[in-house]
Chain A
Amino acid sequence: MAEKKRIYLQPKPVRIWHWLNALGIVTLIVSGAQIRFPEHVSVLGSDYKSVILLHNTAGFVVAISFSIWFFYYTFVARNMHKIYLPSRDDLQSGLLRQAKFYFLTYFLGWQNPHHPTPENKFNPMQKSAYLAIMFVLVPLVSLTGILLTNIEPLRNLILMIGGMKILVGMHFLLACSLCAFLFTHVYLATLGHTPLAYFKPMFNGWEEIEEHEDAVTSH
């Protein structure tokens, strides 16, 4: 027997932040591809200068939005560690449990072992993934981007980290990683009890949770 429960999972600031990021990152990927491969990619028109301007603007929007996110969760909400840091339990058994669900029991029709609450909205695998993305990928791609937009004033700093090629290489590979994350992220978001179940809360804030009493107790 199934009963539906609604929880307010994504408050409005988080939703705005998420979609701003989404728009920013997609713009960055498309414009970045055109900047690197101008003779092959011309999705955004043939004006290279405008594409660079768009890329730089989107980059700054994402970098600022990242900073707001960081300060909000660290200093205002003060629950960064609860939401993004995997607990000891998550590392010892949670990760394995969640991986087992995604790669095995999901196909057998079992329920997701993680039940999101506003205080614990990510499963152990999500926590680890977001930790890597928000604390490594996004800061590094932003920092390398900031250096690349200020080569002349920050040249000595660039030389100190090994030069332009290392910087450009890092920026490119980190961006590819974010692009890879994007595909995985969108796909995993379709794994709710209906394909759109996880998308809804990112629009209206509310997640409908379908709980099968028997499923929860038996697995």
Chain B
Amino acid sequence: MIRELTKTSLWLVLLLALLLPVSALAMENEDCLGCHNDSDMVGEELFINAQVFDHTVHAEMGCASCHDNVTEEHPDDGLTPAKAGCLDCHENINEDYAGSVHANNASCGDCHNPHQVRGLTEVSGHDLNQQCAVCHESADMVQQHDEWLPQANLHIAKLPCISCHTESDDYEIVLYIIQKESDKVLGDFELSALDDLQKLGGEKGAQGVIDLNGDDFISLTELRTFHRNPANEDLRLQATLMPSDVSHKIEILEDRYDCSYCHAAGPEAVQTSYVALPTAGGGYQRIDVEKGAVLDALYGTPDFYMMGATRNASMNIIGLLIILGGLVMPIGHGTLRFFTRKNRKH
């Protein structure tokens, strides 16, 4: 009897030991968010948007990883929870950052909200620039860049600041689905929300709007179908040029004053592209697009054209034929004219 009891308790202990760490971790985030996800309860300053936070890598680590002295009595214990320093984990970033002009003007938290962090491939270019716009207002930036940069408004509106202001070995084209805000013929466009795309995608979900066969790869044919589909009349693809690597060394790079850094790169430079689709929690998820899609004549990416880099080869051939057509008279007529020149001697 005693042996049996010991056996049962042993099993119980084992079961508890297995379950406890998992449940404790999961419980803890939930416990914290039980109050901190409610701004009425904790106030704006301590509010954490659980929907956004849940999808960050920081959430996977758990609240207690950074706020390690929070007790079960919190907040009744009157203790202010400790905060881990960003550099405790992200020490390597500091090397880059310390050398940049930002180091003396902004701390990590001025640009990044640790409860909303995402990797470079999970944010839209628009979101990236929101961080910069806190200090560098868009209109001011257009004005400043306009002093030397052709189409400054276009560059500022469509490019992430870091595409020019950080070093990267490579760049890639990222396409976002945008949709018309209103029924007006000349209505403005905004980034499509997950809900809207899910409605359009039906059973296949948001991805089904553009990745028609659901193979996590968008072919040129799928891009063309997307653009020609009358149901997508109000949808477009907006493109931006993103650095492949992200650096915290934000600086003014002399070589970017030379337009040919991006524009004379030739078609070889713009072969890699992705479609970024919104995910739950306000992030983005990238799907590979067929190589060279942005070079398609009309329907691959109808709204994306980068002078000097994304010209289409068939269009060049048609252009050449037209120009050669202009040489028919000088060459053809000129030759006959030469051979019949005696007829015109009066």
Contacts and interface: CB of A to CB of B under 8 A. Distances in A.
Nearest to A153: B153
A87 interface: no
A48 B327 contact: no
Interface stretch (B31-39, B96-104, B338-346): B338-346
Of B153, B315, B324, chain A has the most CB atoms within 10 Å of the CB of: B315
B346 A163 contact: no
B329 A156 contact: no
A180 B346 CA distance: 32
23 contacts: A37-B308, A38-B308, A39-B266, A47-B258, A52-B150, A103-B333, A109-B345, A159-B236, A160-B186, A164-B304, A165-B297, A165-B299, A165-B304, A166-B302, A168-B305, A169-B315, A172-B315, A173-B315, A177-B322, A179-B326, A180-B322, A180-B325, A187-B330
B297 A183 contact: no
B312 A180 contact: no
Interface residues of A, number: 50
Interface string A147-174: 0010111001111101111101100110
A35 B305 CA distance: 13
A151 B154 contact: yes
Interface string B164-195: 00000000000000000000011111000000
A169 B297 contact: yes
A164 B343 contact: no
A66 interface: no
Nearest to A53: B150
B305 A184 contact: no
Given A35-B307, A188-B329, 9 more contacts: A48-B308, A52-B307, A108-B340, A109-B344, A151-B154, A156-B188, A172-B315, A183-B327, A186-B330
A168 B260 CA distance: 19
A114 to B, nearest CB: 17
A156 B186 contact: yes
Given A108-B343, A109-B343, A153-B153, A187 B302 contact: no
A210 to B, nearest CB: 9
A176 B302 contact: no
B106 interface: no
A49 B307 CA distance: 12
Contacts of A172: 315, 319
Contacts of A156: 186-189
A47 B296 CA distance: 27
B52 interface: no
B312 A173 contact: no
Contacts of B340: 107-109
A4 interface: no
B17 interface: no
B337 interface: yes
B185 A159 contact: no
Contact of B308 (A36, A56, A107, A175): A36
B239 to A, nearest CB: 10
A157 B185 CA distance: 9
Nearest to A182: B326
B319 A176 contact: yes
A165 B343 contact: no
A107 B305 contact: no
A212 interface: yes
B333 to A, nearest CB: 7
A160 B234 CA distance: 11
A165 B266 contact: no
B280 interface: no
A164 B313 CA distance: 16
Given A160-B185, A169-B298, A184-B326, A49 B259 contact: yes
Contact of A48 (B259, B301, B324): B259
B87 to A, nearest CB: 39
Contacts of A166: 298, 302
A218 B303 CA distance: 61
- Ordered nearest first, which 9 A-B pairs have the shortest CB separation? A180-B326, A163-B302, A109-B343, A38-B264, A176-B319, A183-B326, A187-B330, A107-B340, A48-B259
B308 A176 contact: no
B157 interface: yes
B273 to A, nearest CB: 14
A187 B333 contact: yes
Of B186, B298, B299, B329, chain A has the most CB atoms within 10 Å of the CB of: B329
